[in-house]
Structure 1
Amino acid sequence: MWSVIVSLDRHNGPRAASAMAFDAFLSLIPLAAFAGYVLSRTKEWSDLVAQPLLKAAPPEVANLVSEELFRLSQSSAVAPISITGFLWITSSGLSTAMGVFDTIYNTRERPWYVRRAIAAACVMASLAVVPVVAGVGVLIGSLSGSIGARIVAFALPAGLVTCMVAAFFRLSIQRPNIERRRVFPGAVLTVVLWSVVSTLFSLYVATLGRYATFYGSLATVAIFLFWLWLLALALLIGGELNARLERERAGVLSIPPPGKWSALGLSELAQLSDPAQSPTPLPQSATPLPQSTTLPQSAGLP
């Protein structure tokens, strides 16, 4: 696990997580406007859908989002504009994650409009699935107070979210030459980290946090941004884990440092690590350079 974190740091994962967290923070206002408009028209589903989602956030963040939902629920003119703004801003954050994955896997970057289209499709799918998942989990838990019902109410949403994250890994990372892709280990790790981070960070803010002392009225904003940064970093850690597992399966112990795209795939990198294992000649781009080169001496030099 430590090697995964070190590799992510080499690929500028923390900096990319900061950009993703900022994009997610900017998308809060258009999302709150659209969600408030929808929930105000379906009041019977408001508590069933919104409350489970808000419980996953720290208390200060949940209060902020609840206030914005109530304030913006009275306006209907901003709904079409807000959903467009939300899709554009949020897809920017996922597009940043896809760029990091291209660096991690050392693959050619796709055009920006392709990445933005894939990211927007993932956001739209999450808008349709996440509320349903939250509502089903609460409904199952409310039907019976037994321990088994509570376990199912927790395991079912967690499993569906894991499948969503795995689908994002599958779509966002282009590996056409790899038949068996590693997506579920990183997806499971991402969801576990999301749960642990949200729980521990909420406890820390409620008991030990002194954000108001340092940030004053901006304490809630600071808490929200830091929480989003942790969630974005967990997503990148999951992608890094999948990449490491694929490299280990291919017999590649290390990867080139981040930089320009290289035409070498996992099979070529495996040949570089041990050329004697495969009779296939190495590509010309992978031919090692001579260690020393003799330069011609000038006529006037000794």
Structure 2
Amino acid sequence: MDDRPVSQRATWAKRATAFARTYAAEVDRDRLFGLAAETAFFAVLSIFPGLLVAVSLLGLLQALVGADVAVAAQDRVVGLLSLVLTAQASDAVAAVESLFEQKRTGLLSVATVGALVTLSGAFAVTINALNLAYDAAESRPWIRRRLVGLVMALGSLTFAVVALGVVVVGPFFGRGEQLAELLGLGDVFVFVWNFLRLPVLVVALVLWLTLLFHYAPSRRVGWRHALPGALFTAVLWFVASAAFHVYLAIAASRNPLLGAFGGGVIIMSWTYLLSLALLLGGELNAVLYDRRHLDVGPATPDQRAEQLPLFA
């Protein structure tokens, strides 16, 4: 039972309501739904070269850790796509499988350049959206802004490689289980790693998002103040992916139009949801920033309740 005075609970509820109202108004004013579509467009363009990077890396991985581990990594990547996109996107998943069956490590450099160029375009839109959220004039030259987007794109590819190499393959490029066997801890290692696999991915994702929200806006955001939006985005990504999976499993099978267009529309829709969640996280940080830097002057009790931070 809540032991706080009724007046204190009412004040907190008023703050939460005012915050939600302000947040919704800022999302609408900054046109996040339209900017998410623009971001998703460039992100979709980066999918094909990004997959080529993954394919080429798996070819290198096979030389490092052996064919069995590389095939297991391939199966997990395809399985994840199938899990989220369901059978409605079977054509897209089959295309990914066919790429994996034709590993060419020589494609790595070309694919990486293509992925970086298209991803940097997506992050350029993200930078503009975050500046809009913070009401910050862009003070960096165009070339520097593009370099920031390029670094973010490179960081995204690095994160994907780490997720593939650590979360999918396992620690020490898949040699962790062998090391544990030598120490007589094979069963313990398998149990602990299976338990830690998802938390490690979540921590890495939140860290990457925090870096993005710290460096992307023209107005520098502190690490601690970039964290709420990163956590919010990570939660939204998992929730949106799960909800999208449920929608495709239940509703899409009854929609002949979606079935006719196939995996392309499904991938674009999923990418749009992820892009929107990213911008919503940035907007959350911006609204919290405004509330921290708001000058509180003489005001009525109701106005003071709206001006105070959500969490005292």
For 1:34, give the aligned amino acid: V
Distance 1:134 1:32, change over 3 A: closer
SS in 1 for 2:266: helix
CA distance in 1, matches of 2:201, 2:21: 29
- 2:17 maps to what in 1? none
SS in 2 for 1:170: helix
SS in 2 for 1:88: helix
- 1:199 maps to what in 2? 242
Report how far residue 70 of structure 1 moved: 2.8
Query: Is 2:212 the counterpart of 1:168?
Result: yes
Q: TM (normalized to structure 1)?
A: 0.73
Report how far residue 61 of structure 1 moved: 4.9
Q: Which of 1 and 2 has higher RCO (CA within 8 Å, sep 6+)?
A: 2
CA distance in 1, matches of 2:243, 2:188: 28
For 1:64, give the aligned amino acid: A
CA distance in 2, matches of 1:49, 1:230: 26
Q: TM (normalized to structure 2)?
A: 0.71
Q: Larger Rg: 1 or 2?
A: 1
CA distance in 2, matches of 1:229, 1:198: 11
Alignment of 1:211-250 (within 5 A): 213-250=256-293
Query: Is 2:43 the counterpart of 1:24?
Result: yes
Does structure 2 retain, via aligned residues, the 8 Å contact 1:211–1:223? no
For 1:100, give the aligned amino acid: A
Tell me which moved more, 21-30 or 140-149: 140-149
- 1:157 maps to what in 2? 201
Query: Is 2:85 the counterpart of 1:58?
Result: yes
CA distance in 2, matches of 1:243, 1:85: 32
Report how far residue 37 of structure 1 moved: 2.5
Query: Is 2:113 the counterpart of 1:113?
Result: no
Equivalent of residue 71 in structure 1, options 99, 107, 127: 99
- 1:102 maps to what in 2? 131
Distance 1:180 1:169, change over 3 A: closer
Tell me which moved more, 219-228 or 80-89: 80-89
Report how far residue 35 of structure 1 moved: 2.2
Once the two structures are superposed, residues 199-258 of structure 1 have per-residue CA deviations (whole angstroms, 9 ceiling, x without a partner) of: 12112212222476114442211111110000000000100111111111122xxxxxxx
SS in 2 for 1:132: helix
Does structure 2 retain, via aligned residues, the 8 Å contact 1:16–1:100? yes
Tell me which moved more, 21-30 or 43-52: 43-52
CA distance in 2, matches of 1:132, 1:170: 21
Report how far residue 90 of structure 1 moved: 0.9
Distance 1:67 1:40, change over 3 A: farther
CA distance in 1, matches of 2:188, 2:160: 22
Report how far residue 50 of structure 1 moved: 4.3
Does structure 2 retain, via aligned residues, the 8 Å contact 1:212–1:219? no
For 1:162, give the aligned amino acid: V
SS in 2 for 1:18: helix
Q: Over aligned residue pairs, what C-alpha RMSD do you find?
A: 3.0
Report how far residue 53 of structure 1 moved: 4.5
- 1:288 maps to what in 2? none
Tell me which moved more, 82-91 or 29-38: 29-38
Once the two structures are superposed, residues 135-176 of structure 1 have per-residue CA deviations (whole angstroms, 9 ceiling, x without a partner) of: 433437986598765442211110111011000110101325
Does structure 2 retain, via aligned residues, the 8 Å contact 1:49–1:131? no
Does structure 2 retain, via aligned residues, the 8 Å contact 1:33–1:68? no
For 1:133, give the aligned amino acid: A
CA distance in 2, matches of 1:148, 1:28: 33
Once the two structures are superposed, residues 244-278 of structure 1 have per-residue CA deviations (whole angstroms, 9 ceiling, x without a partner) of: 11111122xxxxxxxxxxxxxxxxxx3xx6399xx
Report how far residue 26 of structure 1 moved: 1.1
Report how far residue 41 of structure 1 moved: 3.8
Which is richer in helix? 2
CA distance in 1, matches of 2:146, 2:251: 40
Equivalent of residue 35 in structure 1, options 54, 58, 63: 54
- In structure 2, the gaps of 5 or more residues are 1-19, 178-186, 300-312
Query: Is 2:229 the counterpart of 1:186?
Result: yes
Does structure 2 retain, via aligned residues, the 8 Å contact 1:185–1:242? yes
- 1:93 maps to what in 2? 122
Aligned residues: 255
- In structure 1, the gaps of 5 or more residues are 252-269, 277-302
